[in-house]
Each structure stands twice: as C-alpha cells, then as structure tokens.
C-alpha cells in the first residue's frame, strides 16, 4: 500500500487562526523582526516594569522545571540572548528580592536557576496564578 503525499489516501488540512487587534500591543512588546524578516521573542528593556506574578507564573508554566533531586527551579530562557536573560534575572531580583542566577546551558544558550533557598518565595509569588495541573513545575 502506498503512503505519503502521492497516496490516494493522503489529505492535507490547513488551519488558520485569527487574532484580535487588541492583542497586537502585547505581540509588539514581546516580538521583534530580526534581520531575516522573521519574528522572534524578546525580553523587552522595560521588563521590570511589566513583570508581575501573573506574567512570571505563565512563563514558568510554559518554560519552567522543578528539579526534584536538588530542589531548585529552572526557567528555560534558551531562545533569549545573554543580555536579555541577565535583564530578566535582575528584574526578578529587583522587583521581588528572589535570588537567581544565569547559567550557561549550551551553545550560547542561558537559563535562569532559582536555588532551593529561594523556591518557597517563588512558589508563594506565583502559585495562585498557576493552573493546578502545572504546579509540579514549581515543586508543589
């Protein structure tokens, strides 16, 4: 039996979604056009002003990880530049007093690590803004 796009059973579906114009403001804050004409995620320069527990909770739900053995939380910021990750790290410390460190992950990629001693403070800040099935990402 033949398979693949030349098969008589092959079907292709194209799905397009719409976005409301009210969300354009947020898109413009967190995305920029790169030199190749592609939109990429960025950490905005005013992240400290934008940072709130809800934003941080959503970031953790999508890119966070709790290390059970060592009891720390990692925030995978691999797609951002070192300068952007440092900016986010400083914003979290300045705004909430939560110590964290920028750690090299691989090939010019960096993550944020919240040590075990800071986990309770981070948990208290974001847990009420996380959906229950995602609380494992902060060790709860």
Which tens digits make up the pLDDT trace of 54-84?
Answer: 999 999 999 999 999 999 999 999 989 999 9
Q: Is residue 25 part of a domain?
A: no
Q: Is residue 10 part of a domain?
A: no
Question: What is the structure's pLDDT at 2?
Answer: 64
Find the CATH number of the domain harbouring 71: 3.10.28.10
Distance from C-alpha of 20 to C-alpha of 8, rounded to nearest angstrom: 38
Distance from C-alpha of 84 to C-alpha of 102, rounded to nearest angstrom: 10
Which domain, by its residues, includes 54? Answer: 43-138
- Give how many domains the chain has, as a whole number: 1
Between 14 and 90, the higher pLDDT residue: 90
State the pLDDT confidence band at 14, using cuts at 50, 70 and 90: confident
Q: Is residue 37 part of a domain?
A: no
Within 12-137, where are the H helices?
24-30, 47-50, 53-63, 82-96, 119-126
Contact in structure between 77 and 110 (CB atoms under 8 Å): yes
Q: Is residue 115 part of a domain?
A: yes
Question: What is the structure's pLDDT at 111?
Answer: 95
Question: What is the structure's pLDDT at 3?
Answer: 64
Q: Is residue 26 part of a domain?
A: no
> Residues 87-140: pLDDT tens digits?
999 999 999 999 999 999 999 899 999 999 999 999 999 999 999 999 999 999
- The gap between the terminal CA atoms of the chain, to the nearest Å, is 50
Q: Is residue 50 part of a domain?
A: yes
Question: What is the structure's pLDDT at 59?
Answer: 94
């Amino acid at each position: 039996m033949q398979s693949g796009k030349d098969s008589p059973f092959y079907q292709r579906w194209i799905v397009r979604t719409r976005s409301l114009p009210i969300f354009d403001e947020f898109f413009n804050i967190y995305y920029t056009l790169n030199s190749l004409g592609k939109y990429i995620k960025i950490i905005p320069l005013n992240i400290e002003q934008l940072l709130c527990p809800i934003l941080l909770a959503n970031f953790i739900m999508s890119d966070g990880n709790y290390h059970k053995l060592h009891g720390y939380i990692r925030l995978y910021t691999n797609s951002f530049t070192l300068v952007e990750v440092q900016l986010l790290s400083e914003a979290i410390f300045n705004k909430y007093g939560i110590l964290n460190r920028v750690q090299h992950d691989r090939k010019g990629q960096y993550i944020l690590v919240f040590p075990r001693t800071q986990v309770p403070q981070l948990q208290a800040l974001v847990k009420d803004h996380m959906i229950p099935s995602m609380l494992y990402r902060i060790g709860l």
